[in-house]
Structure 1
Amino acid sequence: PLWKKYEKDAEGAGHGGMDYFVINAFVEAAKRKVPTTQDVYDAAAISAIVELSERSVSLGGAPQEFPDFTGGRWIRRKNVYKFNDEY
């Protein structure tokens, strides 16, 4: 498994070492010119959770509508669900 292979490299990288794997996967994908495990739409969605959570809490836990940053293109989008076995 990746965590064993890169255990020493990930030590102290933040979030229990997980930050190392996310950043390394991005860098390796960019170097190899292959799709990353996260794209700009994933990043926007992940970032929106904080704001939407704060709004919900301030409104007594009211549900918040989640924005579709892809403009509906998520339906046809090919997803990458895991890190490459190499990195």
Structure 2
Amino acid sequence: GMDFIMDYRLVYCLRNGLPLDMDVYDLAEWCCLADLGHISIENNSAPVAVPDFTRGNWNKIQGYRHAFAD
């Protein structure tokens, strides 16, 4: 499944000196989802904003190159 694909891409990027698909900011966002879901449920399923861990710099990634873009 998806675990194999993500593991394959991780190894591929590491072997070829490419940037990883996820960075520390992506990790922070994924990790906060359970807590944000809990807050939403406690408030009658009200929407909860996902924090911007990049402080507005999410669209300024420099030097990004997709692993299979060739």
TM-score relative to the length of structure 1? 0.64
Equivalents in 2 of 1:83, 1:28: separation in Å? Answer: 8
The two structures, once aligned, show a CA RMSD in angstroms of 2.1
- Report the count of equivalent residues: 68
Following superposition, the deviation at residue 83 of structure 1 comes to 6.0
Equivalents in 1 of 2:67, 2:35: separation in Å? Answer: 27
- What amino acid is aligned across from residue 30 of structure 1 in structure 2? L
User: Where does structure 1 lack aligned partners over 5 or more consecutive residues?
Assistant: 1-16
For residue 72 of structure 1, the aligned residue among 41, 56, 69 is 56
Equivalents in 1 of 2:67, 2:4: separation in Å? Answer: 12
**Secondary structure in 2 matching 1:74:** coil
Match of 1:46 in 2: 30
Identity %: 29
Q: Deviations over 1:6-54 (max 9, x none)?
A: xxxxxxxxxxx11011011112111211011211111211221111111
TM-score relative to the length of structure 2? 0.77
User: Where does structure 2 lack aligned partners over 5 or more consecutive residues?
Assistant: none
- Greater helix proportion: 1
Query: Where do 4+ consecutive residues of structure 1 move more than 4 Å?
Result: none
Match of 1:29 in 2: 13
Q: Is the 8 A contact 2:36 2:48 kept in 1?
A: yes
Following superposition, the deviation at residue 77 of structure 1 comes to 2.1
